[in-house]
Amino acid sequence: MADLTSRTPSGPLAESWDRHRFEMKLVSPANKRRYHVLVVGSGLAGSSAAASLSELGYGVSCFCFQDSPRRAHSIAAQGGINAAKNYANDGDSVWRLFYDTIKGGDFRAREANVYRLAQISVNIIDQCVAQGVPFAREYGGLLANRSFGGAQVARTFYARGQTGQQLLLGAYQALEKEIARGGVRMYDRHEMLELVVVDGRARGIVTRDLVSGAVEAHVADAVVLATGGYANVFYLSTNAKGCNVTATWRAYTRGAAFGNPCFTQIHPTCIPQAGEHQSKLTLMSESLRNDGRVWVPKRREDCAKAPGDIAEGDRDYFLERKYPSFGNLSPRDIASRAAKEVCDEGRGVGPGGRGVYLDFADPIQRLGEDVIRERYGNLFEMYERITAEDPYHSPMRIYPAAHYTMGGLWVDYNLMSTIPGLHVIGEANFSDHGANRLGASALMQGLADGYFVLPYTIGDYLASAKLAPVAADHAEFRRAIEAVEARTKRLLAIKGRRTVDSFHRELGHLMWEKCGMARNAAGLAQALERIPALRAEFWENVTVPGSGAALNQSLEKAGRVADFLEFAELICRDALHREESCGGHFREEHQTEDGEAKRDDEQFTYVAAWEYAGAGKDPVLRKEPLQFDSVHLATRSYK
């Protein structure tokens, strides 16, 4: 049974990270070069970790499936990054950012982790500025801040609507600097397909070279997964097409516990689906809600009318009505569910009635079109390019879409999974966001893990572990290579009648309907019945053209979808077991009279960590109880 000890330091919260850093063992400078670490993934967490570890002197190999580490999906984050700098002098503090994040996560995250995140947030901004990240500035030359969904202070730093891009380029450039220096060996167009565990410790991975098809073993002293989230289990999501669960799922089947898989985030401001061949959903930054007003017609019969023909009095600004103190800035889960609710009532707008208006007429009248163009110009252009509608003159239509996954591999305070030597950082772990992530906190967590947490904690592991030398022809590596090769062979040999995408689309639709924004026991039970059947059909009837010995994008997709077909079951199982509503997990059976989420702290103040029990066997649920010593477990209210 896996060890679920959180290794959270005891004592006062504010001192815990400092004390822990002192208590951790160090690897002496001369010895660092003797250790080799594999970093899988090159987004914010992966790039920053790989660069920082290399700067410390460790030998590092970094892997990404894209053609360059700069393409990782962190690049698409738009809005910003939070930090408790209190530059705006509006009452922010480390404690407030900590409290907001814990509360925003609906009290399902570890206090000590979140406090550390808030502490480190200030260092991240400094680090990024030093790297040349062109954050927005005020005329006096100081850094600009704005407020962002779910926060009442202006603590969000941003680089136009491309904050993720600029932060990633900063980390990518640091990584390239280390590649040039010889500290990091970069493997692009390589996909991790197995984790290798020797004597109970993670000692390497097996990858497929996506150009040559070569299956290769990589041996190391520790492995770091920075492979992102699994929102593509819904097929249509705001994630990049290549985002997948394969690396974390393979690690799970090798013994790493999976934490809170049902905690998925639906983002309220995405462009609604236009047709059946749509391949992804595009996010419109949440920052739009700073000025835009969300509404639908009060009466169903008005839905088909042009928005301009609906009188002010006939409009329902439902977020302002239901949540007067946060209004259009209500947190993502709340805003998403409210949109679903009005659409379920038949008051949605646009194709299929699955959309609500995000209207800029008021701010344009109040501030002028130029100000709105300066703030959101690139987003408005993007909207117009996709929909062929001009948001300066008619309101945008938006609808929630799967966006981020708070769940991920379980890790302790040191970001190590239940497999010693396997560390998990960024979105790939479950750690800091509880049941719901606040806007502009993903970039913060990815960089906190990569720049400022993992570089210390991995040293503690390496200094403590007595690692015997392992060769690439060790039996475990040979077994893993054979498993990868056999799987490839099997996928190619099926030669059925359905494409990989058609399976993915069907799975995604099922997950969205039964395990999306709102869930109930009956629907989840149906999904749990349907998923194994779909998976069985996949393994009998999928068609994967081409060979395994060359570039084969269908084969890449097939492997990822095969893993989603297994993983989907775990999400539903977790969602079914959690008989409460919290954050992004909304169980229809557990709501207040006015439709708000109803937590059950008595029974569910714990992390659900699922352990693999073998193929065809039910996974085992283990629990890490969550303790709240510093904050009071309150009902989340944004009214």
Partner 1 sequence: MRLTLHVWRQPGRDAPGRIVEYDAPDISPDLSFLEMLDLVNERLIAKGEDPIAFDHDCREGICGSCGMMINGSAHGPMKLTTACQLHMRTFKDGDEIWVEPWRAKAFPVIWDLVVDRGALDRIIQAGGFISAPTGGAPDGNALPVSKQSADEAMDAAACIGCGACVAACPNASASLFTAAKITHLGVLPQGQPERWRRALAMVKQMDLEGFGGCTLFGECMEACPKGISLDTLMRMNRDYLVAAVREREERAEAGTG
Footprint on residues 414-453 left by partner 1 (CB under 8 A): 451-452
Tell me the residue type at 290. N
Closest CB to partner 1 among 72 and 225?
72
In the complex with partner 1, the residue whose CB is nearer, 207 or 436, is 207
> Roughly how many angstroms between the first and final C-alpha of the chain, as a whole number?
44
Scanning residues 281 to 340, which ones bind partner 1 (CB under 8 A)? 282-283
List beta partners, residue 185: 61
Residues numbered 252-281 forming contacts with partner 1, rule: CB under 8 A? 274-275, 277-280
Q: What are phi and psi of 7, to 5 degrees?
A: 55, 30
Helix, strand, or coil here: 360?
A: coil
Give how far Cα 466 sits from Cα of 118, 416, 469, Å.
33, 16, 10
Q: What would the two tokens of residue 8 be?
A: 């959270």
Compute the distance between CA of residue 282 and CA of residue 397 in angstroms, rounded to an integer: 12
Q: Which residue, 49 or 428, has its beta carbon nearer to partner 1?
A: 49
Distance, CA of 195 to CA of 61 (rounded, Å): 15
Closest to partner 1 by CB, 503 vs 604, is: 503
Plot region of 475 (φ>0 → left; ψ -120 to 50 → alpha; else → beta): alpha
**DSSP state at residue 43:** S
- The H or E element containing residue 561 is helix 553-577
Q: To the nearest whole angstrom, how small is the minimum distance from the Cβ of residue 160 to partner 1? A: 6
Q: Take residue 552 and report the two structure tokens written for it.
A: 């084969």
Comparing CA positions, the residue from 98, 66, 67 lying closest to residue 82 is 98
Q: Is 176 in the site for partner 1 (CB under 8 A)?
A: yes
Which of these ranges, 65-73, 88-96, 218-226, 331-339, lies near partner 1 under the rule CB under 8 A?
65-73
Question: Nearest approach, Cβ of 323 to partner 1 (angstroms)?
Answer: 29
Please pick, from the candidates 1, 30, 180, 306, the single residue that binds partner 1 as defined by CB under 8 A: 180
Q: Which residues contact 243 (CB under 8 A, 6 or more apart)?
A: 73, 228, 229, 230, 231, 232, 237
Binding-residue total with partner 1 (CB under 8 A): 81
Tell me which residues in 78-97 interact with partner 1 (CB under 8 A).
85, 87
At closest approach, how far in Å is the CB of 479 from partner 1? 31
Q: Binding to partner 1 (CB under 8 A): which residues in 94-133?
A: 123, 125-132
| Residue found by looking up tokens 């997709």 in the block | 557
Which of 181/300 has CB closer to partner 1? 181
Among 6, 16, 66, 264, binds partner 1 (CB under 8 A): 66
Site for partner 1 in 37-56 (CB under 8 A): 48, 51-52, 55
Residue 116 appears among annotated catalytic residues: no
CA–CA dist 599, 626 (Å, integer): 14
Residues 526-565 that bind partner 1 (CB under 8 A): 543, 545-546, 550-551, 553-554
Least separation in angstroms between CB 83 and partner 1: 8
Taking CB under 8 A as the rule, does residue 240 contact partner 1?
Answer: yes
Candidate list 96, 108, 332, 337, residue with the active-site label:
332
Q: Which residues are catalytic?
A: 332
